[in-house]
Amino acid sequence: MFGFNKTTIDLHAPFDGTVIPVNEVPDPVFAQAMVGDGFALIPDETSDVIEVCAPADGKLVKVFNTLHAFALVTPEGLEVLVHIGLDTVELKGEGFTALAAVGDSVMVGQPIIRVDAAALRGRGTQLTTPVVMTNKKQIGRMKVSAGPANSGAHACTVTMA
């Protein structure tokens, strides 16, 4: 058979926590997949510092000035956005440290942003982190592996359209 081989890409938990489908994120922009479909990770409450890692191999194409989000493109062309916490753009970078730069080739599990989780929680910041594919036309199917996950564990399989 020809024309039926679809590329599948595994995405991994960017830190220790609990994987949930993106429609369960307590933010309508993410829950309604306005930014893209995917999953989210609720961090373990015991972590004072979180190193948010690349969920897939790829090239880092965007690190937001406020360090609250980054985007990468996998070798297959899948566009992935990691948005650290909810409403964190308002922090203007406070509590975030960049560990990688735009243009870097990154591998699964490579730290991209360090987060002072204790300080942000102290401010009442919600650290649920959506990981979404921003180009909906690229996604044929997606299967989220909900539940507890260590950093680097399988979290989602995407079959490209």
Token pair, residue 136, equals 């909906």
Q: What is the pLDDT of residue 46?
A: 86
Residue 153, in any domain of the structure: yes
Token pair, residue 124, equals 């009442």
Residue 15, in any domain of the structure: yes
Task: Judge whether 83 counts as a catalytic residue.
Answer: yes
- 3-class secondary structure, 70: strand
Residue 2, in any domain of the structure: no
pLDDT in tens, 91-129: 899 999 999 999 999 999 999 999 999 999 999 999 999
Residue 17 pLDDT > 50:
yes
The secondary structure element, H or E, covering residue 12 is: strand 8-12
Of residues 12, 68, 83, 154, which has the active-site annotation? Answer: 83
Count structural domains, the chain: 1
Q: What is the pLDDT of residue 41?
A: 96
Token pair, residue 125, equals 């910041």
CATH number at residue 57: 2.70.70.10
Domain span at residue 138? 8-160
